[in-house]
A and B are shown apart, each in its own frame.
Chain A
Amino acid sequence: QKEVEQDPGPLSVPEGAIVSLNCTYSNSAFQYFMWYRQYSRKGPELLMYTYSSGNKEDGRFTAQVDKSSKYISLFIRDSQPSDSATYLCAMKRNSGYALNFGKGTSLLVTP
């Protein structure tokens, strides 16, 4: 079993919908939680960065971390066709340097 699990999708939604993406993990030592967006043939781009539990909001994006359930989520409000990409969750330990990524969820927002 991988330390970080993420449903690869694909997930297809109409423009304007609220998108919910999530990951589960098994290692309780993870303290830093990130969401990256990756367009085809591009490198990952950091969207949200959270330390420990709680919520964080940035524009149309909200990240949630529930450490008791080992579950993290990314919500996208008013989704746009330009949001179509692969979304990767990533985590790391307090004392570590390596990011542990999920497989990524492919999102398609249709006009």
Chain B
Amino acid sequence: GAGVSQTPSNKVTEKGKYVELRCDPISGHTALYWYRQSLGQGPEFLIYFQGTGAADDSGLPNDRFFAVRPEGSVSTLKIQRTERGDSAVYLCASSPGGGSNTEAFFGQGTRLTVV
């Protein structure tokens, strides 16, 4: 596709449930990032993939959060036992390479609401 695509756009789930958020990066981009943006805040880094491997997962808040990218393209962010504090917009970004000098392109985000 032309840009980074995230599905679903909106997700409402009950506290304690499991959710999966999907990201389709720009074709050919090897680097993929997940960020979380709470209301009134800037995005906060969660995890970075170079190809299939998670090169940096230091931003994941706890072990309820996990992300995969099995074929080096589509990525899924998985959240177990959701809590109300997980409510936020989850943003995915991709870039052509993993070097520090490459710009990241963001998707429109998935708005997660935990009730």
Render B26-50 as a binary contact track against A, CB cut-off 8 A, 1 for contact. Answer: 0000010101000011111100100
> Which chain A positions have C-beta within 8 A of B91?
43-44
In the complex, which residue of chain A has the Cβ closest to the Cβ of B6?
A43
Number of interface residues of A (CB under 8 A): 30
Render A35-62 as a binary contact track against B, CB cut-off 8 A, 1 for contact. Answer: 0100001111110010100000000000
> Which chain A positions have C-beta within 8 A of B44?
101
Rounded to whole angstroms, the CA-CA distance of A8 and B41 in the bound complex is: 9
Render A2-45 as a binary contact track against B, CB cut-off 8 A, 1 for contact. Answer: 00101010000000000000000000000110101000011111
The A-contacting residues of B in range 55-112, CB under 8 angstroms, are 55-56, 58-59, 91, 93, 98, 100-101, 103-109, 111
**Does any Cβ of B come within 8 Å of A90's Cβ?**
yes
Render A67-111 as a binary contact track against B, CB cut-off 8 A, 1 for contact. Answer: 000000000000000000000101011111111111110000000
Do B42 and A88 touch across chains, with their CB atoms under 8 A apart?
A: yes
> Which chain B positions have C-beta within 8 A of A95?
100
Do A96 and B100 touch across chains, with their CB atoms under 8 A apart?
A: yes
Chain B interface residue count: which class?
20 to 34
Rounded to whole angstroms, the CA-CA distance of A31 and B108 in the bound complex is: 27
**Does any Cβ of A come within 8 Å of B21's Cβ?**
no
Rounded to whole angstroms, the CA-CA distance of A102 and B37 in the bound complex is: 11
Do A44 and B45 touch across chains, with their CB atoms under 8 A apart?
A: no
Instruction: List residues of chain B with CB under 8 Å of any chain A CB.
Output: 4, 31, 33, 35, 40-45, 48, 55-56, 58-59, 91, 93, 98, 100-101, 103-109, 111
Known contacts A90-B42, A97-B31, then 16 further A-B pairs from the complex at CB < 8 Å, ordered by chain A residue:
A32-B101, A43-B109, A44-B91, A46-B103, A92-B100, A94-B100, A97-B98, A97-B100, A98-B58, A99-B33, A99-B43, A99-B45, A99-B104, A101-B43, A103-B41, A104-B42
